[in-house]
Amino acid sequence: MQHFHIDREILPGERIELFGEDHNHIKNVLRMKRGEKVVINDTQGLSHICALAGFGEGCSCFDEEERFPCETEPAARIVLYQGLPKKDKMDLIVEKAVELGVSRIVPVMTGRVIVKIEDDKKEARKLERWNAISKSAAMQSGRGIIPTVDRLMSFNQALEDARKLDRILIPYEESDTVGCTMKSSREAIKGLRDVKSVAVFIGPEGGFEAAEVQEAMRVGAVPVSLGKRILRTETAGLAALSIIMFELEDL
């Protein structure tokens, strides 16, 4: 069944109306008929199986038939702090990170970031596109929520923001220089079974500066290794998220 989202609680017995792009997709792309069913997820972590009742003025109308807790969300809330990459790589990162289960994505300006976004209008356009990509990926993958892509933060702002979460991981290609081994990395990943929220920091194309890793460690970040090979920025985050989700998925 197709998945849709509504940005509020769905009350028992109410007629549910979907507007805008959702309505157009239902009526003109899917060409749904009365009685055909979809899943609509709300802000309370609930999934609702709903049957199309008909079309109103600019909306698709549904009646709820069944509700149950959403089963597609991971046990822990994952926030990806992504060093801003060049060109359109962020589009791919947002799409795949949402498919893998992140709840929020924060673009980060680190010391080795090459791209500079100095225009508020340019940043707003990028955020609009990234959040549209997030919504599309969430619907395609059956997510219970639509993850948000936040405004660009400095590295120090991102660290301060991440301190609100239970655990901070920072994959680092020179992890051996800070005493990190594959064994300690596995232990750090397994330890996520005991937490409710996790921050994952990924560097840009040039990686993190050593001073940035030290600063992250001072606020409690745990360096981890993703293996012996150096991964591109668009690969590193997806590798880290895949490992984390594999560990959390059966909880």
pLDDT in tens, 83-97: 999 989 999 999 999
Residues 41, 145 contacting (CB under 8 angstroms): yes
What is the CATH number that goes with domain 3-69? 2.40.240.20
As a whole number, mean pLDDT of residues 142-159 equals 94
Q: Which residues pair with 114 in a beta bridge?
A: none
The domains of the chain are located at 3-69, 77-248
Q: Can you list the positions of beta strands (E) in the chain?
A: 3-5, 15-19, 37-41, 46-56, 59-69, 77-83, 104-109, 148-149, 153-154, 167-171, 197-202, 222-224
Fold of the CATH domain 77-248: Alpha/beta knot (3.40.1280)
Number of helices (H) and strands (E) in the chain: give both, helices first.
7, 12
Residues 6+ apart with CB under 8 A from 174: 207, 210
User: Over the stretch 67-119, which tens digit does the pLDDT of each residue have?
Assistant: 998 888 888 999 999 999 998 999 999 999 999 999 999 999 999 898 877 77
User: Over the stretch 187-222, which tens digit does the pLDDT of each residue have?
Assistant: 999 989 889 999 999 999 989 999 999 999 999 999
Residue whose pair of structure tokens reads 């990509």 in the numeric block: 133
Residues 84, 204 contacting (CB under 8 angstroms): yes
Identify the pLDDT of residue 44. 83
CA distance 135 to 137: 5
